[in-house]
Amino acid sequence: MNEPKYTIAVIKGDGIGVDVTDATMAVVSAARDRIGGFQLELNELLAGAGYFKETGKDVAPNTEAAAGEADAIFLGAIGLPSIRHADGTEISPHLRLREMYQLYAGVRPIKAYPNAPQRLADPRGDEIDLIVLRESTEGLFYSAAVHNRCPVDNDNEVQDILRITRPTTERLHDFAFKLATKRKARGHKGHVTCVDKANVFRSMAFFRQIFDERAAAFPEITKDYNYVDATALDLIRRPWEFDVMVMENMFGDIISDLAGGLVGGMGMASCAEIGQEHGLFQPAHGSAPDIMGQDKANPLAAILSGALMLDYLADKSGQPQLAKAAELIEQAVEAGFAANRIRPMEFGGDMGTIAVTREVIEQVKSVKP
């Protein structure tokens, strides 16, 4: 058989990262078996807090280079609060991967599934279907500890930098408008909201100025602006009105957790981090030490990130079977929830990681594509 083969660098990481990665690879493999037409080769790489505790290094030798050579990177979760560097910060080599491969576009879909928890009393909460697009290489994370870029860092004072550059911001806003265009073709609104704090910070006024400049090339997409504090409010009172929301790194970090909470919790929060040449896919949650090793983690955030990975590979390669496999996984999750056959413990249900994964695989095998 001459099927095209794609290499996935797999970093399971720490805590529940290991379980949800195993779950994702099982589901992705079931989708591949059903759709066919491509092969996946998994290359497991070691990294994380557990690895650091054993070896004093946060990644195994050549991990970063091997991740860069793969067609896509999948990451479970990295970090354990009990294991830290001498300066008190946590083990976070994944931030270095973002920087190294300039994974500027953090795509975080927020979608309400039937029978999953509805956190809002308003019934329109079941229409929530939006994307938080978080810039992921600069903003207030530019001087994150792992990069060692604090301009002032002494016993008396510490400063961090919020950095907005034109090239990254142009790429980010173009990504937002292209994503809205793709979503519009699938029946969404075709609307982008610029979330900023342009009333106070010059960096944010610059972010908004570039948003307007790039919007001109996408006349079929509507746009508006929302200050980040008002966005926190509006995500509670009218989240169903948003489509694509584009924002600076730290704002995206916080807003995406808030939005994830609206549709259940972190166990539903999938994530893609995309650059010009590379893509990294991971659930937006961490290693959840409070539930690790107990088969309680909801694997759906990771599984849906696996679908984002297949969709990315489809765009990158032009191979339509990959896009079909991605869609199949999304349909399987939707159908499982609709039939009340997916009941994660995270939402008070009776199904742990293994049971949810088994059911998604059953749906992948049987749902009508």
DSSP code of 121?
S
- When binding is defined by CB under 6 A, the residue of 73, 77, 228, 355 that contacts ligand NAD is 77
- When binding is defined by CB under 6 A, the residue of 30, 301, 322, 361 that contacts ligand NAD is 301
279 binds ligand NAD per the rule CB under 6 A: no
- When binding is defined by CB under 6 A, the residue of 185, 290, 350, 368 that contacts ligand NAD is 290
Give the Cα separation of 282 and 293 in Å (integer): 19
Please, are residues 96 and 146 in contact by the beta-carbon 8 Å criterion? yes
78 binds ligand NAD per the rule CB under 6 A: yes
- When binding is defined by CB under 6 A, the residue of 297, 309, 351, 356 that contacts ligand NAD is 297
Sign of CA dihedral 360, 280, 285, 188: negative
Token match 């004072």: residue? 157
Q: Please say which residue, 17 or 190, places its beta carbon nearer to ligand NAD.
A: 17
Outline where 117-237 has alpha helix (H): 166-185, 202-215, 228-237
- When binding is defined by CB under 6 A, the residue of 12, 32, 94, 343 that contacts ligand NAD is 94
Which stretch in 233-241, 248-256, 287-295, 316-324 sits in contact with ligand NAD by CB under 6 A? 287-295
11, two tokens: 């970093």
- When binding is defined by CB under 6 A, the residue of 90, 253, 311, 359 that contacts ligand NAD is 90
Q: Quick one: how far is CA 292 from the chain centroid? A: 20
Angle of the 16-35 helix axis to the 300-317 helix axis, nearest 10: 50
27 binds ligand NAD per the rule CB under 6 A: no
Give the Cα separation of 243 and 127 in Å (integer): 11
80 binds ligand NAD per the rule CB under 6 A: yes
The CA-based dihedral angle spanning residues 285, 291, 295, 296, taken in that order and rounded to the nearest 10 degrees: -70
Window 6 to 25, contacts with ligand NAD (CB under 6 A): 16
Interacting residues toward ligand NAD by CB under 6 A = 16, 77-81, 90, 94, 266-267, 282, 285-291, 297-298, 301, 346
